[in-house]
Structure 1
Amino acid sequence: MGAARKQSVKFDARMFEDVPVLQRTWRAALKPGETLPRYEDVLLGSLGRLADHMVLLKCENDAFAVSRTGRYAQEWLGDERWDIPMDALRPDCATVLSEAAANAIANNRPYLTAADCVRNGMVRTYDVLALPTFARWGGTLVGAYVNERGAEYNLLDAIFSTTDDGVISLSTIRDATGRPFDFQVVHYNQAAVRLLNVAERSLLWQRLSNGGHLLCSQAVVGRLRAAVKDDQGDRFEIDSDDRTLRLAITAFGGILSLVISDVTSLKRRDASFRLLFDSNPMPMWALDCETMAFVRVNDAAVQHYGYACETFLRMKVHEIWPKEEWLSYTQALRDIGDTYQSEHHWRHVKADGTEICVLTFGRRIMLEGREGYLVAVVDITERRKAEARIAHMALHDGLTNLPNRALHQERLGEALESGNAAGKRVAVLCIDLDLFKNVNDSFGHPMGDCLLKQVADRLRSRVASNNLAARLGGDEFGIILADDTSPKQASDFAAGLISMLSEPYEIDGNQVVIGASIGIALSPGDGTSSEELMRNADMALYRAKQDGRGTQRFFEREMDHQVQRRRELELDLRRAFANGEFELHYQPLVDVALDKISGFEALLRWLHPEKGMISPAEFIPVAEDIGLIVTLGEWVLRQACNEAVKWPSEIKVAVNLSPAQFRSRNLVQLVISALANSGLSPKRLELEITESVFLAETEANLAILHQLRELGVSISLDDFGTGYSSLSYLRSFPFDKIKIDRSFVKDLAKRSDSVAIVRAISGLGRSLNITTTAEGVETTEQLDWLRAEGCNEVQGFLFSGAKPAAEVEQLLRRFGARASRAA
């Protein structure tokens, strides 16, 4: 090994040239079109002195084996044998050879790496270059070049010289009786020189009795003597010049090893920790890991929990836990790692028995040589209460404190999941209060809110077990009957609710009476999901309200079909306006005395491209519901004015107005614009309204009517006699015309009461100087009755149905000719 070492040192000067030479040789041997050069061209006959440094590896079944080795390589491997497997070599050599060879083959090029090998505490670094080749007889061969990179060094010396701790070895000097009385420095590292703050040359072979540094103090020498005498270690700290040094003594007979550590920063941190612990406003304590006893508590913990400090320090941590949590909390504490932050709250009990919710933050620490936990506590009791209140508010109605729509849907989903799995029916009841709007309008919203609270109390009193009552919004409530419910049980329950909710309410000395309509849907027949069941119950409620208040209806499939048709009609209606599918037809208004046309009523018609003509009675209510009626009404008004201006100057045009157009608040401006753009005289425009215009915001709507009258436009009251208080409307506004509803005209020849009503309306018109127009005249007999009763104007199929604008001129000519013949 010594000869090989000399040879290695001899080659050191040229070592840096060997690797480039071998790489160039490999590249020169690589022929075009080949991925690897031949073994013979690289590793045979041309290596010279480098052959001593080569290890030839062959690859068989994805494993390497040593085929040949040079003399230097044999000394590095510690093995002179050839044709041996890789696992027969030293592990450090085998690892680096396998790594280099594998990478060289994977990349089809030379691969250079370095290896650190430790022999007898000495570290040597070697360069290893792997050269992949192929043999003519088949297979892959790798030649690995090995050479030492530089001088060796002692591993232990390197460790000692680079550590931050000072290391000093001391030899014991004994007196004549064999007792230790002095010590001599026999070894040290640079860190010891720095920590003791002495000159390096003065430290080696120095006796401690000569003084000059911290180790020479009587206190330290005494601890050293005791360590030698007892043949055991020691550990202690000394302070000097604002520094704290920790000394660890290990005795080996008469030799002492002394490790010196600067713990100044640790001591300062410990002092800071103590200050932070004791003065921290957050409750903190330290526990013994084994006994779970409190070993330290700060003032904040004493004040917050109400135990005296002495009492705290006699307690174990489980004494501040609720008894039912002892087992689970103990296990949770045992499972804590080095640090801990609670994800869920812990329950703690204060000295007065009050329970609080806390979050804890902790870590393992050493406490006077024992393992412990340092714990900080955050009291979240009030926060939890606030969160609970917020969570409750998120799922409950703020006025009635009933569950809201979100919680209703959540509980319904749970009930359906359980019911569907068990084959049980779940019933959903949608409840709408009848006449509630009247209470708000008559008594104000505060009274309405009080009423809703009392309704909620009554509903709450009727639900039990797994059932739920909720406020879904406004005056709409919902009930879930989660137990297996039959249709009869649901019907009986609904009937009881209607009866209970219809009983009078006493509010602020007023007796209030309302009612309720209920729609019912049952799973699984009416739906298996919460969305489907609620939608169907809502449709049943809509039918109950249509069929008369104070009633209940079960969902029927036909209701869904009607809703689908309604939705389809809405979509078609929106497209129809955009596509220009609407048109105006005009029905003549005939002057009874002159037997001639005095005007035309503009009537909206919808010609659907697939379904044909759709009745206004079908699509006008839908247009009002979806808000399209205002846009349609504007189009009708402008179109009618544009058409009427083409007629003779004495012919008027009548246009129907919707209550929605009054709510838009731009009706007067719209009429002015339509008249101005068309050039039609205001006296030729007649606007027809129904009494529904007066049902809401009466004062505002009356103001609009007066503004329209001031323009010169005539105002007609349509469907007179069919409402609740038509006579009061005649007092509210001076109408130009009242139209007698067709329901009275139809039975003139059959019912005397119809004759009496027509006679009364005609007489009223004459008295108030208001024109009366009868609608729906279909027979000459009806016409004769109306003429006899003094009716001024008529319209109906007896004269003509509504016709397109192109046929208006023909109607005018026909009636003109008829009037001439009558004259």
Structure 2
Amino acid sequence: MNAAKKTSGKPAPDMFDDIPVLQRKWRAALRPGERLPRYEDVMLGSLGRLADHIALLRHDGALELSRSGRYVQQWLGDERWDVPVAQLAPDCATVLSGAAASALETGKPHLARAHCVRDGMVRTYDVLALPTASRWGVTLIGAYINERGAQYNLLDAIFSSTDDAVISLAALRDARTEPFDFQVVHHNKSAELFLEVPAGGLLWHRLSEDGGLLASAEIVELLRTAVASGRSAPLEIEIGGRHLRLSATAFADVVSLTMSNVTALKRRDASFRLLFDNNPMPMWVFDTETKQFLSVNDAAIHHYGYSRAAFLRMTLPQIWPQDEWDSHAQALERLGDTYRSSRNWRHLRADGSEIEVLTFGRRVTFDQRDGYLVAVVDITERRKAEARIAYMAHHDGLTELPNREHFQERLKQALDQAGGKRVGVLCIDLDLFKNINDSFGHPVGDRLLKEVAERLRTAIRGANLAARLGGDEFAVVLAADVSPNEASACAGLLIDMLSAPYDIDGQEMVIGASIGIALSPGDGATSEELMRNADMALYRAKSDGGGVHHFFEKEMDRQAQKRRDMELDLRRAFANGEFELHYQPLVAIAAGRIAGFESLLRWRHPEKGMISPAEFIPVAEDIGLITQLGEWVLREACSEAVKWPSDVKVAVNLSPAQFRSRNLVQVVISALAQSGLSPKRLELEITESIFLAETDVNLATLHQLRELGVGISMDDFGTGYSSLSYLRSFPFDKIKIDRSFVKDLAQRPDCVAIVRAISGLGRSLNITTTAEGVETEDQLDWLRAEGCNEVQGFLFSAARPASEIGTLLAEFGQRASRAA
């Protein structure tokens, strides 16, 4: 019989009438300023027939049924009042509790839907929960319940909707004991589609008359077996490219035959077999109960080295190392429908070797047995590579000593375990190593570093550690409770050992070592402090000429802190505009007038006042600020000089760092363009250090500047190693005689001879000569007599701020007029 929809005996009120009415009534009763309307305004009064459909719920910590109408009592199957909702029928209690909770949470009516099964019939109800306040201080919820009208038989619905064909057949008997035929007495719609017969064309037909699929000998035998024993074993047949699975269950002489189309399942099984057998990844299926291998693919046989027959005689524990039996067994106990390795496992191959693997699996049915399909990923080589990578991450690639990161970790570990005892840090720098690299090349230098590492590895043992920090820098952790004498003895031994000659391809090479020592806890409690202080001690050892060791001293830290403060102040000073330019006049001796001004950088610190350039210029060079400062000086000097008389020049000192920046020419062009200053009024002063590095590149830059029309001066001439050779390399416009030769002109004949030679050289090469540091009239007379062109110094004026330049020019103008 097909499932038939029914309606209840009494027509239900239309929810589209009742529910909107109740919702409007609830909203109309809600007074301004109140969260919920009052119970009596909503639930009392003209409810009429709706009262039978309402249950009154009381919420005071727990939810109780206080009152219920007759319709509600029929729905509940319970006429009791004042009972906890939890004691009612579970399907009704669940929907009442849920609707009430939602209404209480939102403070508004909540409409829910309930599905209840009564006597095999599924019925659908609307449940509207209306929250209200009461004068007794508890919340009351009025729950309206009404059936939607349509209901259906659950078993009929399932029977009708299943995709499987379900056919009921009656066994036909005569005088014989076994059934001679079967007749269809009932079937679902799927049976007609399954057997491809028209509607109604199957009912009441005998199988012997049908001649179709059902009359096949295999199916008739299946039905007879079911009648004889009550149930038959499943039968699978293939007809017309379809795979069918049949099962039969008998109740006396009535047999229920179920037919399922398993074609897709068979195809998936075939695909599984194809993927399993031909997969390059080792795979197997094992029995979840016995742990026996049920099937293995060719890849597993090849990878593990067992024959197929041997594999299929084995169980899983036979490929596990004995020390992992327990952990493997525990993992199997926790198997779900799928599995993915949470760790690496070890497996044994047939030759006894071990491999490291990851495993992935899922539960499957294999040959009617509960099995588990496992795929194996061999990560043995990957783990070896990872181990090597991990080793290299903590070791130096050239020397294989621990690297800086490993050193820091070991130092922190030693400090953590020290318990107040001393831990020593030795920072080591090789002396003269750069000479080896420059003379013999980096390959030889690398071999020498390996030899150094081997000597350190031999000398530093036990809990101590030697490491290469980079370049020719090494370090040692002395982890034991080391005394200052022991640290000193160790440093002396290392210096002697590292300074002994090295034989590289028959070539004897000699280097040295300098060492800085810091000891915890006095020199620092953290690895960072110890390393920093040992490095400062090393700097002191290098400053003393190398080949020695020094302990850290507090004065070193004070100097380092002063240096750090200077660095911070310098960066802030540049950002805050604390720098200014002062100008010292360059006086032409013959004319007695100011020919130009040298711009000199000054720093006016807001707290410390004027700071000497000798203090901050080296620091600015070290921290890379000198390039920015140099550009600022150039722009500022050009902008100021354009205000002066057109025959007065401005000289600006250039740092070697500005040449390294590679944009010096563009910076000069920009400064001239922005200020409007003629290039002929700009002189750039350089020192011989410009020629000591990248001579060809720097010479090219100087020639480009000369082509602009800018003058080039050699500062501090005569103090370097090759000053005369530089005059051959580049046609300077001016050379400045260092103040050290001017100071003792009146007392030392050799100074007179040097000044005379430089002045004569200048005249011969048509180069202007300027003497620095002129402080007395005697010095001026000597310089005039030796033919010097220009002078500068305190005799004429110290460097002055830009605001005083006008006064200075006026004074010199008056002095020149009087002299004339």
> TM bucket by the smaller chain?
0.7 to 0.9
What amino acid is aligned across from residue 802 of structure 1 in structure 2?
A
Q: Are the structure 2 counterparts of residues 700 and 40 from structure 1 closer, same or farther at C-alpha, using a change threshold of 3 Å? A: closer
Distance 2:762 2:161 in 1: 120
SS in 2 for 1:582: strand
Asked if structure 2 preserves the Cα contact closer than 8 Å seen for 1:586 and 1:600, the reply is: yes
Report the alpha carbon displacement of residue 363 of structure 1 after superposing the two structures with TM: 0.9
Whether 1:543 and 2:544 are equivalent positions in the alignment is: no
Map 1:276-425; keep pairs closer than 5 Å.
276-419=275-418, 422-425=419-422
Q: Is 1:525 matched up with 2:522? A: yes
Map of 2:213 onto structure 1 = 214
Contact 1:430 1:541 in 2 (8 A): yes
From 425, 429, 434, give the equivalent of 2:426. Answer: 429
* Residue deviations 1:655-709 (CA, integer Å, cap 9, x gap): 6554445545677888899999656978xx9876555444333455567778889
Equivalent pair of 1:644/1:653 in contact (CA under 8 Å): no
> In the TM superposition, what are the counterparts of 1:496-511 in structure 2 within 5 Å?
496-511=493-508
TM-score normalized by structure 2? 0.80
1:266 deviates by 0.7
Offset at 1:338? 1.3
- Give the conservation status (yes or no) of the 8 Å contact 1:668–1:707: yes
Say whether the 8 Å CA contact 1:587–1:600 is kept in structure 2. Answer: yes
Distance 1:666 1:811, change over 3 A: farther
Aligned to 2:196: 197
Amino acid across the alignment from 2:64: F
- 3-state secondary structure, aligned to 1:327: helix
Whether the 8 Å contact between 1:585 and 1:605 is mirrored in structure 2 is no
CA pair 746-444 structure 1, distance change in 2 beyond 3 A: farther
Name the structure 1 match of 2:461: 464
Cα pair distance change 1:687/1:44, threshold 3 Å: closer
Is the contact between residue 57 and residue 143 of structure 1 (CA under 8 Å) also seen in structure 2?
yes
Cross-structure match for 2:473: 476
Structure 1 residue 604, shift from structure 2 partner:
4.5
Distance 1:375 1:688, change over 3 A: same
CA deviation map 1:125-179 (0-9, x unaligned) = 4455566677889977666555544365433222222222233344444554644
In the alignment, which residue of structure 1 is the partner of 2:3? none
- The 3 A distance-change label for structure 1 pair 22 and 780 is closer
Residue 752 of structure 1 corresponds to which residue in structure 2? none
> Which structure 2 residue ranges, 5 or more long, are not aligned?
1-5
Tell me: CA distance 1:596–1:143, structure 2 relative to 1, closer, same or farther (3 Å).
closer
The answer to whether residue 608 in structure 2 is matched with residue 611 in structure 1 is yes
1:217–1:581 CA distance, 2 compared to 1 (3 A): closer
Shift of 1:87: 6.0
Counterparts of 1:217 and 1:369, CA distance in 2: 26
Rounded to whole Å, the distance in 2 between the matches of 1:557 and 1:150 is: 95
Deviation at 1:12, TM superposition (A): 1.0
Deviations 1:763-809 (A, max 9, x none): 8658967899987788999999x89x989799898946734365856
| Superposed displacement of residue 391, structure 1 | 4.1
Matched, 1:257 2:256: yes
Percent pairwise identity: 58
| Secondary structure in structure 2 of the residue aligned to 1:528 | coil
SS in 2 for 1:23: helix
Report the equivalent of 1:3.
none
Query: SS at 1:164's partner residue?
Result: coil
The answer on 1:569 being equivalent to 2:566 is yes
Tell me, yes or no, if the aligned pair for 2:503 and 2:509 is still in contact at 8 Å: yes
Q: Against the structure 1 CA distance between its residues 364 and 60, is the aligned structure 2 distance closer, same or farther, given a 3 Å change threshold?
A: closer
Q: Is the 8 A contact 1:12 1:150 kept in 2?
A: yes
What is the identity, as a one-letter code, of the residue corresponding to 2:436?
A: V
Q: CA deviation at 1:618?
A: 1.3
Conservation of the 8 A alpha-carbon contact between 2:588 and 2:594: yes
Shift of 1:58: 5.7
Instruction: Confirm whether residue 742 of structure 1 aligns to residue 743 of structure 2.
Output: no
Number of paired residues?
798
Which residue in the other structure is 1:586 paired with?
584
Deviation at 1:583?
2.9
Work out the CA distance in 1 between the residues paired with 2:144 and 2:706: 114
Post-superposition offset of 1:617 = 2.0
Q: In the alignment, is residue 626 of structure 1 matched against residue 627 of structure 2?
A: no
Q: CA deviation at 1:270?
A: 0.6
* Counterpart Cα distance in 2 of 1:311 and 1:502: 65
1:742–1:774 Cα contact (<8 Å) kept: no
Match of 2:510 among 513, 524, 537: 513
CA distance in structure 2 between the partners assigned to 1:97 and 1:766 by the alignment: 114
Q: Partner residue of 1:159?
A: 158
1:748, distance to aligned residue in structure 2 (A): 9.4
Shift of 1:244: 1.7
Asked whether 1:453 is paired with 2:454, we answer no
Relative distance call for 1:795 and 1:466 in structure 2 (3 A) is farther
2:486 counterpart (485, 489, 494): 489
- Distance in 2 of aligned mates of 1:765 and 1:333: 95
Instruction: Write the distance in 1 (CA, Å) between the matches of 2:150 and 2:601.
Output: 108
Alpha-carbon spacing, 1:83–1:395, altered in 2? closer, same or farther (3 Å):
closer
Map of 2:63 onto structure 1: 63
Per-residue CA deviations over 1:248-306 (Å, capped at 9, x if unaligned) read 23344544433322211111111111111112222221122233332211122223333
Looking at structure 1, the residues matched to 644 and 125 of structure 2 have their Cα atoms a distance apart, in angstroms, of 112
Deviation track 1:187-222 (CA, whole Å, cap 9, x = no partner) reads: 433333333334553544444444434333222332
**Residue 75 (structure 1) shift:** 4.4
- Partners in 1 of 2:160 and 2:256 — Cα distance? 15
Q: For the Cα contact (< 8 Å) 1:128–1:146, is it kept in 2?
A: yes
- 1:731-770 alignment, distance < 5 Å: 739=737, 742=740, 758=751, 761=754
Aligned equivalents of 1:767 and 1:624: distance in 2? Answer: 35
Cα deviation per residue 1:365-389 (whole Å; 9 max; x = unaligned)? 1222222221122333444444444
Q: Give 1:559 deviation, angstroms.
A: 2.7
Structure-2 change in CA distance of 1:410 and 1:238 (3 Å): same
- Residue among 780, 795, 798 paired with 1:802: 798
* Cα contact 1:66–1:86 (8 A) shared by 2: no
CA distance in 1 between counterparts of 2:745 and 2:497 reads 43
Q: What's the CA shift string for 1:637-668, capped at 9, x where partnerless?
A: 7878976997998x998765544455456778
1:216 counterpart letter in structure 2: A
Post-superposition Cα deviations, 1:434-479, rounded to whole Å, max 9, x if no partner, equal 3333333333444433333333333333333344333333333333
Matched residue type, 2:65 = A
SS in 2 for 1:201: coil
Q: Which amino acid aligns with 2:610?
A: M
Residue type of the alignment partner of 2:554: R
RMSD, aligned α-carbons:
5.0
Displacement of 1:29: 8.2
Mean CA deviation greater in 530-539 or 285-294: 530-539
Pair 1:47 & 2:45 matched: no
Q: Is the alpha carbon distance of 1:612 and 1:377 closer, same or farther for their aligned partners in structure 2, counting shifts above 3 Å? A: same
CA contact (8 A) 1:689 1:716 kept: yes
CA positional deviation for 1:329 = 2.9
Contact 2:31/2:37 (8 A) holds in 1: no
CA distance in 2, matches of 1:117, 1:666: 87
Higher mean C-alpha deviation, range 305-314 or range 169-178 = 169-178
Q: Which amino acid aligns with 1:267?
A: K
